[in-house]
């Protein structure tokens, strides 16, 4: 392997450390403890694992964690009433509604009922607009984590050619906005892109957020490029269940200058950035200085 490994697990530990330091300072100097409320509707097993992990890490960095578990058949009006209560609770600085929601609920309506300043997932339409116009916003956690790793590796990203594969609202589009904000020349590729290999071969930075196991082979990667693999795909290999990304790691690592592994790359950064967003939201709510390096 020629590429430098970008260790997301270690980097996430560093981010959590910075969050914990800031939380301790908020407590000591201002008597404030940031709080994150996570709402889970139904019993989706993957969502339960995520919510548990978020709650555990929230407490580990010294913040208050509030978990709200609702039955799968909870009326939408009850969820909206809970969100309204959390919006008005000064102890709650961040609100995260775990997606996906049960089919009878309107996800857009629910997300847009969260107060934008407490929308630590960055999915509220106001935050989408603020990010799109280069203003201070709550930034979606996964793209924020990717940006932090890229900045850490390169310092400045200015003038670099970046290709984001995938145009979802939660990863692809905000990722492209962030890279544009850092003065990259950005191309967004998707399922209708003509000659994807050629588009990817031009990129100094490749962010793959597709959800197709190992679809990007090494020979699409420009020598020395930085590859950020957002994909999380569970496949069976040699009779075992394994996690792989959207990039064929072994062949891409032969050509890339730096690459994130799966698992242990982007994944751990997502929750770390959720904690970072919560402490940022808390500082903004109290008109206090925001922690440096934890926002876009």
Task: Name which of 182 and 246 has its Cβ closer to ligand NDP.
Answer: 246
What the block records as the tokens of 131 is 């990010």
Q: Note if 119 is an active site residue.
A: no
Question: Is 98 a residue of the active site?
Answer: yes
**Which residue out of 98, 119, 229, 248 is catalytically annotated?**
98
The binder of ligand NDP chosen from 61, 149, 232, 252 (CB under 6 A): 232
Write down the catalytic residue from 121, 229, 246, 248. 121
Judged by CB under 6 A, the chain residues 181 through 200 that form the site for ligand NDP are: 189-193, 196
> Pick from 35, 172, 261, 291: which binds ligand NDP (CB under 6 A)?
172
CB 237 within 8 A of CB 274: no
Strand order of the sheet with strand 185-189?
A: 4-5, 258-259, 226-229, 205-208, 161-165, 185-189
- Grouping H, G, I as helix, E, B as strand and the rest as coil, residue 80 is helix
How near is the Cβ of 230 to ligand NDP at its closest, in Å?
4
State the Cα–Cα distance between residues 225 and 238, nearest whole angstrom.
30
Rule CB under 6 A: say whether 243 interacts with ligand NDP. no
CA distance 144 to 262: 17
Rounded to whole angstroms, the Cα distance separating 287 from 289 reads 7
Q: Which stretch binds ligand NDP (CB under 6 A): 39-47, 85-93, 206-214, 216-224?
A: 206-214
54 catalytic? Reply is: yes
- Determine the distance from the C-alpha atom of residue 136 to the mean position of all C-alpha atoms in its chain, rounded to a whole number: 17
Contact with ligand NDP (CB under 6 A) among 170, 180, 285, 288 = 170
């Amino acid at each position: 392997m020629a590429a430098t490994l970008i260790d997301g697990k270690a980097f996430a530990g560093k981010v959590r450390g910075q969050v914990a330091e800031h939380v301790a300072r908020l407590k000591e100097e201002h008597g404030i403890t940031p709080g994150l409320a996570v709402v889970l509707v139904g019993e989706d097993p993957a969502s339960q694992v995520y919510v548990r992990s978020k709650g555990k890490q929230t407490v580990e960095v010294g913040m208050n964690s509030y978990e709200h578990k609702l039955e799968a058949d909870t009326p939408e009006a009850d969820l909206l009433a809970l969100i309204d209560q959390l919006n008005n609770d000064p102890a709650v600085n961040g609100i995260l509604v775990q997606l996906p929601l049960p089919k009878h609920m309107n996800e857009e309506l629910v997300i847009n009922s969260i107060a934008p300043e407490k929308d630590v997932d960055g999915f509220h339409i106001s935050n989408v607009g603020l990010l799109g116009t280069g203003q201070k916003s709550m930034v979606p956690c996964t793209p924020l984590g990717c940006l932090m790793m890229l900045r850490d590796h390169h310092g400045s990203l200015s003038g670099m050619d970046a290709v984001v594969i995938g145009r979802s609202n939660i990863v692809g589009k905000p990722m492209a906005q962030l890279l544009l904000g850092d003065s990259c020349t950005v191309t967004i590729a998707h399922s209708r892109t003509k000659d994807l290999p050629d588009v990817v071969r031009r990129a100094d930075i490749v962010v793959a957020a597709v959800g197709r196991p190992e679809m990007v082979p090494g020979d699409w990667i420009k020598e020395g490029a930085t590859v950020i693999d957002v994909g999380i795909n569970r496949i069976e290999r040699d009779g075992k269940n394994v996690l792989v990304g959207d990039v064929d790691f072994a062949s891409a690592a032969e050509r890339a200058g730096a690459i994130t592994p799966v698992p242990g790359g982007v994944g751990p950064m997502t929750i770390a950035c959720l904690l970072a967003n919560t402490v940022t939201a808390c500082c903004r709510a109290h008109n206090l200085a925001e922690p440096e390096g934890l926002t876009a």
